[in-house]
Structure 1
């Protein structure tokens, strides 16, 4: 790696300080009792003062260059070694997980509340305009019976968002398929509407997240936390309900 401007200046500063601080050992100067090299030391002091000023400027330049480099890496999403970097729009370094969870909950509540409010004031010709300009919000437009839970995962390393009370006809498509034994079984597939909802919730969680250099090829995971969105299908809910009844029978 090439030596930086600041590193070169530091090398010269150390050499000048050694010249200024070291006692003169020249025989002529010792015999005469006065150093004939004092002028050189005085010149070194002046040069040292100039270099120290330059060092401050060089350090500032390096700091700015480094900041620009990392800003570019985070914007691009990866560095020259293939490590991934990303900062969510709402990410704040050192923010406690409880605060992140609280803000994610608030974000979801606002989306739900906004969907119940009129987009524009009532008036002639405004209703059709509102429909044309409205951007679909999967959270706000989800059925009212749906409930959301946001909690911290085990070890404070994840955010877990659960979607509860999903209407079966809204969220799931039943598919009859053959299992590994050839028997016909029902498999539940998410509808496009539920997929949109899961994607939106994941995006909200990731807005508070950051990746500081993960690399899948080396199993290096440097995310601030992980975001999981859970939507249990009817079969999973039925099995859980049967297990609950069995334990209490």
Structure 2
């Protein structure tokens, strides 16, 4: 089971985690961590619970921890089932004009179901689902909700999820991630004064008057307005235009 993706080099590890959830097909319902050499990168709650020294994924950027082509690092999802993913930085590429990032280039193999019981449980599940005469076939099929196609993967569908949000059974698992941010020079200068963690919080806590709730701002741009920065973009849930004014100083 593999995926090849393009991401911004400055992507934060929290957004890389969300990207991996979408491109793999996970449901963002368990804890996770990254391990880069001997550095643990995850959310602050997990670090506090484990009393571990590590790096908050909201602030950590890929380019600051994974620099060399060929670098390997690990992503673990669901500490019970223990799904380990090996990640490798294959190459650096110029940005494609008009392309939204993150972007899934290609991949293969269907994602295991959530809570299937790790690698051994997944093998038992696959064996039973492949044989209608297997004693556990009916119960597994009912639990899963239909047939399982072990080699199925649709990159175009994944990219739609990255652009519009990842929904499972009418539940929004991950908001839209793929963006094409652009700022006027003065707005970019002012935006850079805001800490990365605060930037992330601003982008993920924008009010959408159409949804009448908090959303993530995607495909956003920034303009300098009387000393402040006006962010304008699309709602990560409904896709409608929305904006917020960020007061500087």
Give the TM-score of the pair, scaled to structure 2.
0.21
Could you tell me the TM-score, scaled by structure 1's length?
0.21
Larger Rg: 1
Pick 1 or 2: higher relative contact order, CA cutoff 8 A, min separation 6: 1
